[in-house]
Structure 1
Amino acid sequence: MANEWRERWREGRIGFHRDRPHPLLVRYWPGLGVRAGTKVLVPLCGKSLDMRWLAHDHPVLGIELAGQAIEAFVAEGVGEVTRYRQAGFDICRQGSVELWSGDFFHFHIEQAAEIGAFYDRAALIALPAATRQRYAFHLAQLIPPGARGLLISLTRDPGGPPFSVSAEEVLELFEPNFRVTHLEDGEPEPNGFRETAWALERRGPLT
């Protein structure tokens, strides 16, 4: 799966990339109540412009397996880029966005100490069914109790990635560790894709 993902970026097969912030993010993020200045985790971030939108109010930490995506993000941005290495990840920072190049499953709680929110538009749906449960559990390990996030899932005809993830599967994956609220089913797109927005809040005792 990792090699396939890198190959898609090398070949430019990134039809999932949008040239503007996602409308469901713009519509629903303000209502989550995430305080300005809270660091937002964006798994499998690609070169998403959603990170720049979030960075107006938040420091952003994106994790991406394909180095080409990270280099494209900073090349298309404005401002000095600083680079360093930490915990096995190559990291670059531009403005309020830091991008960690590596495997999301190798990112652990020690590196996530400042994370207080998350946004997933392209991570869950990029993973095959056998890996999605592992992803949901690992995300829960990184997110502190009370932290909130926005998930955008996708249903489509068989095939992928991106993969179809039903509402029933979203609930099955996340309800053990999150309070899950359905926000909106988007309109079907010409390609048969239909996105759904969910608000998630990490369960657990508040400190």
Structure 2
Amino acid sequence: MSEKPEVVNEWLARWREGRIGFHRDAPHPALRRYWPQFGIPSETKVLVPLCGKSLDMRWLAERGHPVLGIELSGDALDQFTAEGQGEVLRYHQDGFEVRRQGNIELWGGDFFHFHIEQAAEIGALYDRAALIALPEATRQRYAFHLAQLIPPGVRGLLISLTRAPGDDRGPPYSVDTDEVRRLFAHNFELTHLEDSEPEENGWQESVWAMVRQGPNM
């Protein structure tokens, strides 16, 4: 992510030191609940920005989707492939270090350097922890860049997070319903699917369906 060095260094240090409490040891329940309802064909390639080593990618791949994850931390991507099965192919492409395992491509590098020609085959989107990984000043840039990459008609799932009132720490950062709409409503049709029950620490997830709007919509 093109961001202040201290933010980048914090994320890289978290992966290097294993401070990854945000990582889930099972696919996200909202992904399992809502993705089948979207009717996205199994051969559709899914973009997963700032993917970490999310098991959600394996869940999608097991259902026939080619997956393209983008992640700045090489440690995260190495852990993902080490914990998986099958040969890992490595190559460089357009400034990214790419790892391919089965039908999952992992592009190691800056999401903001990933461009339209590289995204030509993208047909679906899944964001569980990308938006909330970014400080407020970068989230608008992220939403704009995502809109440039995604063709009209592409569907996706977004899982955001709010913290308890007054808890402004991060990452992950608090992104409330109003901000989600403010960031994406110009380019995406948004449907608010659910809010989770608040956790003991006051965190609460919100789940959104997204469809990229365009002249043919």
Q: TM-score range by the shorter chain?
A: over 0.9
Q: Residue 52 of structure 1 is aligned with which of 47, 58, 65?
A: 58
- Identical-pair percentage: 72
1:69-123 deviations in whole A, cap 9, x for unaligned? 0000000000011011100000000011100000000000010000011100010
Q: Residue 41 of structure 1 is aligned with which of 37, 47, 57?
A: 47
Instruction: Give the letter for the 2:38 counterpart.
Output: L
The yes-or-no answer on 1:31 pairing with 2:37 is yes
Instruction: Give the letter for the 1:53 counterpart.
Output: W
Distance apart, 1:34 and its partner CA:
1.3
Structure-1 residue corresponding to 2:139 = 132
Distance apart, 1:137 and its partner CA:
0.4
Q: Residue 20 of structure 2 is aligned with which of 2, 14, 35?
A: 14
Aligned residues, how many? 207
Structure-2 residue corresponding to 1:154 = 161
Structure-2 residue corresponding to 1:66 = 73
Range that drifts further, 46-55 or 7-16: 7-16
Q: Find the residue that maps to 1:35 and give its secondary structure.
A: coil
Structure-2 residue corresponding to 1:100 = 107
Q: State the Cα RMSD in Å.
A: 1.0
Structure-2 residue corresponding to 1:191 = 201
Structure 1 segments (4+ residues) deviating >2 Å: none
Distance apart, 1:3 and its partner CA:
1.6
Instruction: Give the letter for the 2:26 counterpart.
Output: R
Rounded to whole Å, the distance in 1 between the matches of 2:35 and 2:112 is 25
Distance apart, 1:36 and its partner CA:
1.1
Rounded to whole Å, the distance in 2 between the matches of 1:33 and 1:161 is 33
Distance apart, 1:35 and its partner CA:
1.4
Q: Which runs of 5+ in 1 are unaligned?
A: none
Distance apart, 1:131 and its partner CA:
0.2
Rounded to whole Å, the distance in 2 between the matches of 1:96 and 1:79 is 10
Q: Residue 182 of structure 1 is aligned with which of 189, 192, 215?
A: 192
Rounded to whole Å, the distance in 2 between the matches of 1:184 and 1:2 is 31
Rounded to whole Å, the distance in 2 between the matches of 1:24 and 1:181 is 14
Rounded to whole Å, the distance in 2 between the matches of 1:73 and 1:7 is 17
TM-score normalized with structure 1 length: 0.98
Rounded to whole Å, the distance in 2 between the matches of 1:90 and 1:53 is 23
Rounded to whole Å, the distance in 2 between the matches of 1:206 and 1:123 is 28
Structure-2 residue corresponding to 1:115 = 122
Distance apart, 1:184 and its partner CA:
0.2
Rounded to whole Å, the distance in 1 between the matches of 2:52 and 2:178 is 26
Instruction: Give the letter for the 2:150 counterpart.
Output: I
